Amino acid sequence: MLKVNFMRTFESRQYIELVEKSNLKVLQDFMRDEKYIISTVDDFSNKNVIDLGAGHGRLKPFLEDKVNELHLVEINPEMYKQLEADIKLTHFSG
């Protein structure tokens, strides 16, 4: 019987294990290409960027200091909690 996992219920650590630490070439190429595409844009400073499916914020470090506004959209409640905690930690700690 086919087992189906919906990423909407994944926690950050599950996503990291399944995708970011994967040895699958297609996933590694995709993540490399994302970072490359971001690096080719000369000037993001006047741009507003939306990261749809932001997950736990994997691309946030590559974008946050380069853009005018960064909008992170995530529907997975567990990923959202991690994303929100990271933003509070990095941007609102006193």
Domains: count for the chain = 1
Tell me how far apart the alpha carbons of residues 81 and 15 are, in angstroms, rounded to a whole number. Answer: 14
Q: DSSP alpha helices (H): ranges in the chain?
A: 12-15, 25-40, 60-63, 77-91
Residue 19, class by beta-carbon neighbours within 10 Å (0-12 exposed, 13-18 middle, 19+ buried)? middle
| pLDDT 10s digits, 18-55 | 788 888 899 899 889 988 988 888 788 898 999 998 98
Question: Residue 80: inside a domain, yes or no?
Answer: yes
Are 56 and 35 in contact by the 8 Å Cβ rule? The answer is no
Indicate whether 3 belongs to any domain: no
Structure pTM? 0.71
Is there a domain that residue 1 lies in? no
